[in-house]
């Protein structure tokens, strides 16, 4: 009986954690009428959150006290500040933003920046601190 219960538990857990493949051209916002930033949740569990984010203009300076963020640029160009470092970003770039590091971005291309943001641990939206 214990083996059956354990097996059923493993099956239930495996059904919750499904592998996902997303092709860049299939990652689209649900609306194109947003004025600046559009965020689309792609995945979340107790360890991570994954979002597709489109930025038409900018994301003002802020930091996250509880998690690290890794950003993968899929489309567009911009100027990003991470800590004291200012740099240009473009398609194919990866930006690692350590926990507690102030960061911001301004889009410099005609089309919005399109990025994948992976945040660990899970991002619940409560640890974003805006910097004046």
For residues 110 and 99, give the distance between their C-alpha atoms in angstroms, rounded to a whole number.
30
pLDDT single digits (tens) 51-74: 999 999 999 999 999 999 999 999
pTM above 0.95, yes or no: no
Of residues 6 and 25, more confidence is placed in 25
Half-sphere exposure of 56 (CA within 13 A, CB side): 8
Domains of the chain, residue spans: 23-130
Tallying the residues shown for the chain, one arrives at 132
Give mean pLDDT, residues 3-23.
56
Provide the Cα torsion 68, 74, 77, 83; round to 10°: 10
CA distance 76 to 72: 11
- What's the CATH number of domain 23-130, 3.40.50.1370, 3.20.20.140, 3.30.1360.70, 2.60.120.10? 2.60.120.10
């Amino acid at each position: 009986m214990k083996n059956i219960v354990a097996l059923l538990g493993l099956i239930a857990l495996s059904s919750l954690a499904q592998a996902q493949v997303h092709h860049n051209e299939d990652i689209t916002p649900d609306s194109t009428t947003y004025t600046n930033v559009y965020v689309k949740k792609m995945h979340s569990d107790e360890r991570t959150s994954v979002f597709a984010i489109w930025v038409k203009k900018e994301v003002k300076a802020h930091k996250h006290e509880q998690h690290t963020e890794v950003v993968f640029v899929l489309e567009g160009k911009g100027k990003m500040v991470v800590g004291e470092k200012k740099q240009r970003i473009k398609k194919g770039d990866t930006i690692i933003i350590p926990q507690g590091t102030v960061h911001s971005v301004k889009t410099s291309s005609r089309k919005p920046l399109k990025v994948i943001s992976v945040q660990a641990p899970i991002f619940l939206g409560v640890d974003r601190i805006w910097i004046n």
